[in-house]
Chain A
Amino acid sequence: MSPSLPAIRTRVGHADWGDNAFCGFSVATELAGEETIAGLIAMAAAGRRLSPDERAVLDDVAVAMTVADARIWPLKMTRLLSSYGSCLPAFAAAILCIEDASIGHWTSGEAAALLSQLRDEATELTVEAMRGPIEKRLKAGVRLIGFGVPFRPFDERVRTLKACLARSGREQLPHWRALEAAAGAARELRGLDANIGLAVAATCLDLGFTPPQIAVLSIALGMTDYLANAVEGAEQRLAILRRLPDDRVEYVGKAERASPRMK
């Protein structure tokens, strides 16, 4: 047998006798009855405990970004896979497919990185000052993650979240102001408005989270969209989702041909 293996350090949790530790806290005496699911998610993503006000902001984020229409691409996937009667594989597949994807909650992390850069480059948080950094990226062909609202004139979720933040004055914090300035510039230059990815990014940057943490947080806070569709899909077990009628599929691949061995 090889010599003793080095221990892997972990700050996540430990199973004690009579209690459990999570991120430095006793579950029984420090977290139970005090902590919320949003707070636990923040601890899981960033390893730090939030104040009640900060947790309430994450609750606002989770609620405001809800969009659970089963026809939206990743959510449709949960419907297809849950049609066999089980919800968790469908839920897991949807969560899996949005990491590093072009759409979906994970993009909040990249949007946060971009917003941080824009904020650093702009001399002040105004549309005029943001025009240069935005224009530079547009000319270079850089995709502005967090900007652009497909199929509708504005992202209703951004307005919903802003209204929530305004109740506690958080729309005046630096990263939200950077969002407003950058979105103003992007609208003028290319007709691009901020989408919910950028709004979540700004809100979470103002809470002190890093871009990688924001990607994870956004997924966790948005889970209900996927879960609700997976649960209902598993209950419905619809044959139409297991297999579409043949006449609803158009084959556009290679024409019929015979193999050399058939000839």
Chain B
Amino acid sequence: MTRRGPIEDYAWPDRLRGHVVTPGPSPRMHGYAVERDIARHYRFSDATLLALTGELPTEGQSHAFDVALTFLAPLPVSDAPTHAAALARICGSRPSAVLATAAIGLAERARAIVAASAGLLAWLAAPDDAGAPPAAADDANRESLDALRAALAARSIAIEALARPLSRADALIATLFFAGLKTPEQLETALVMASLPSVVAEAYSHGVTSFREYPMQLPPFEYEDP
């Protein structure tokens, strides 16, 4: 007997809708032929901005995006996403599981960073002195901000927001914003993709089942009965 229920008896669309990439051979992304046009005339980072924003970047946006991604690329093993991915490797997980662990960790970190940047994003969208973001807190931040300004200047890019003494994290969010990434979804994606290669590379540098070499007591936990 064929069972029937709400899914059988309700009228549903019979095709899945795609909004960014055309299905089939010779894919187009937001209307542009990927293989015959974008791959020939643009860089991967441009294709990424196209995917995320729906439009090709200007020269300045493209370079700013490259600089921001490069600044965001390194994430040492002290940071939770890299640490977690290294643990997956040590546990002998499949490469796909190491990668997935890294991606989840990076996505969670990105969510926290972007959530903490809500005030900055509002200010970037409508700058005013009253809502100005806080200044950088320490010398390391200032050095990093100077390096970011210099890297952008080397490509003839000046971002107005970076004239302020922003923290490193805020300055990089402001640079991504300049590149055209303005929504939490766009920014979180950029943060994840920027660090993913270094995170998995660090993870793969650890030995499979190297349990004895892993510092179990770092940081220390202390169990107490409820």
Contacts and interface: CB of A to CB of B under 8 A. Distances in A.
B10 interface: yes
Given A9-B224, A47-B226, A253 B41 contact: no
Interface string A48-87: 1000000000000000000001010000000000000010
A142 interface: no
A11 B31 contact: no
A259 B38 contact: yes
Interface string B34-63: 001110111000000000001010000000
B212 interface: no
Interface residues of A, number: 40
Interface in A83-102: 86, 89, 92, 96
A219 B42 CA distance: 45
A5 B219 contact: yes
Contact of B23 (A69, A92, A251): A251
Interface of A is mostly: loop
Given A249-B17, A250-B17, A259-B37, A10 B23 contact: no
A32 interface: no
B198 interface: no
A251 B222 contact: no
Contacts of B104: 96
A253 B38 contact: no
Interface string A4-18: 011111111110000
Contacts of B154: none
20 contacts: A8-B222, A10-B223, A11-B226, A21-B225, A24-B226, A89-B97, A92-B100, A96-B104, A151-B10, A246-B24, A249-B17, A250-B16, A251-B17, A251-B18, A251-B22, A252-B19, A254-B31, A257-B31, A261-B42, A262-B36
Interface of A: 5-14, 21, 23-24, 47-48, 69, 71, 86, 89, 92, 96, 151-152, 244, 246, 248-262
The 6 closest A-B pairs by CB, nearest first: A261-B41, A14-B223, A254-B31, A7-B222, A257-B31, A151-B6
